[in-house]
Amino acid sequence: MTRTANTLDAKLHLWILNLHVAYSLDQPTTPRTNLSSELLPNSTENVATYLNNVEDVLYDPGTLLSDRQNLNSSWFRRGSENELPLTAYFDTFRLSSGDLATDNGWPGEEYIQVDKGKRMLVGFGDIDSGMSGYNISMDSGAVYPPNYISNVQNPTYQSNGRLATGCYYNANEFSVSQLNNSWAVAPINSINPPDLGATADNLTNCGFSQLLNVTIDGVTADSVAGPYQDFGNNAVFGWAYGQPENDTSQRAEDNQKFRCALMVATDAYRGHWRVDYCSERHHVACREAESPYKWRISGFEVSYGDGDGACTGNTIFDVPRTGLENTYLYNKVLSDAQDDSSLLDGIWINFNSLDHQNCWVTTGLNGSCPYYQDSSAVQSRHILIPALAALIVLLLTVLTILVKCTSNARNSKNRRRGDGGWDYEGVPS
């Protein structure tokens, strides 16, 4: 965490741990029966014990519970609306103390990484029957219980990779309670390899995170990485392949302006994003307040900096936060494009890197990169801190000398030589 504390390299890692009984070396294909209490891990061998060396970077269940008990002092203490988690995704209520709380909400990634300085969430996945006697409560301080941060679903597929059942997108439904895809995971256990990319893309658009549980073309990633990289590119929403690209004009003023994002609905992009000059004029993506899936497209074109003013009524200039939100916006563009085909070429979304290149933020025209540190400022601190330390040592040394000199001077005044050469201290009577 120290290495990525305030840099663009900061990432949040999600670990799902499946507990299985090890097979016997003599009978490697025969599952073990339930382990006896003597063979089960004890309190010094449990999972949490092995996480002790990373406990400083864990966003653990206790921290989540504490944050949920007072939202105003945790997730909501940020000032800008764009920095707050969207409350439409969870319930809030008032405690007897008057504090705003939630029992099912989660903070945004920026809060976990920047405010709390955390980098990991760890939860249990499958626990097979042989480990049924394992006491997972021993790990409750560090590990989330099964199905808490993963909700495994099993959608079905058509021959072309499209989902036959299970897709969360519903053109006529916008209620979060009816489209709750929190932590939805779809394992891919078998699929026709040519359709794997389309399957990953469709799962993302339908609100799923994918778990690839099959070897592509019988070749592992350490031998041929290309198919797995393609799968990964299709498994994320947002940027189109090769985006965000850099400006090629070699002019610093142009490079500074080439840092704003568009969603493009042409056949080549199909709702993915690309970068464009912020001075270009496009329609704007406006989300209805407190409704993640309801979008409107502005009635006129503006430059990126005027995006806020283009969203009228109870709407705000915004950016899709999830694959499912992105799907709703994409389909809204397709619908409105029946009357104005220019919408297909791109609409502004509230996403830019104007503050620092390669650090994309959702906090508008004047948003700042939360991770970036000016290298010159860091160097200044490196120089300043040793200098201050040296100055403090010097001051202490001077004070020590002054105190010693003062003490000696006082002693010389108080000491008098009496008859016979002996010394006495104090004022003679």
Q: What is the pLDDT of residues 3-12, one digit of tens each?
A: 655 566 778 8
pLDDT at residue 231 tops 60? yes
Better pLDDT: 58 or 252 = 58
AA letter at 56: D
| pLDDT at position 379 | 43
Query: Helix (H) and strand (E) counts for the chain?
Result: 9, 17
| pLDDT at position 396 | 63
pLDDT at residue 247 tops 80? no
Location of structure tokens 């000398």:
401
- Domain layout of the chain by residue ranges: 150-236, 252-352, 378-403
pLDDT at residue 406 tops 70? no
| pLDDT at position 339 | 95
Which of 57-61, 131-135, 211-215 has maximum average pLDDT? 57-61
Q: What is the pLDDT of residues 188-198, one digit of tens each?
A: 887 776 688 88
Three-class SS of residue 207?
A: coil
**In contact, 186 and 203? CB cutoff 8 Å:** yes
- What's the burial of 365, exposed, middle or buried (CB within 10 Å: 0-12/13-18/19+)? middle
CA–CA dist 141, 107 (Å, integer): 19
CA–CA dist 427, 415 (Å, integer): 8
Record the pTM: 0.79
CA–CA dist 386, 409 (Å, integer): 35
